[in-house]
Amino acid sequence: MGNIFKKKINDESISFISNDNLILSDIQERLDSYEEKNYEIKNNVDVLKSNYFSITTDFRGELNELRREYNLLDTKCIKLNKEYRTLSILNKTYEEQLGELENKLLEIENEKIFLDLEKNENIIESSRYLDT
């Protein structure tokens, strides 16, 4: 049994195969144009690869340089921190020594020898070191 309805022919569904497309010279021309396009694409991909490689090597070099600089600055920072701590400790000890010396000086000044003016005058008069 067959179809009772006739199939409508749609112009859009016409095959792309025509007599012009089957001529060997046309086929060869299309193959050549495809090969040229393929060659251009390969060249562009090669250029992109080489540019990508050069960019990555440049970035890698810069990154290594930044790492070296960071390590150098880090070691300098550690050294400065050690020196700062040392100077801070020395400063504290000197402050303590100054405090002790000031206390001793106050103790000496508060002793009776310095408070008695008559004795001070006698000491000054009897001192031989001032006569020179």
Interval 58-103: pLDDT, tens: 999 999 999 999 999 999 999 999 999 999 999 999 999 999 999 9
Residue 132 lies in a domain: no
User: Any idea which residue has 């390969």 for tokens?
Assistant: 42
Domain count within the chain: 1
Task: Please list the helix, strand and coil fractions of the chain in percent, rounded to the nearest 5, in that order.
Answer: 80, 0, 20
Residue 4 lies in a domain: no
Q: Read off the pTM.
A: 0.47
Residue 10 lies in a domain: no
Residue 18 lies in a domain: no
Cβ proximity of 84 and 78 under 8 Å: no
Range of the domain at 59: 25-122
Residue 70 lies in a domain: yes
**How big is the chain by its Cα radius of gyration, in Å?**
51
Residue 104 lies in a domain: yes
Which pair of structure tokens corresponds to residue 123? 């000491």
Residue 91 lies in a domain: yes
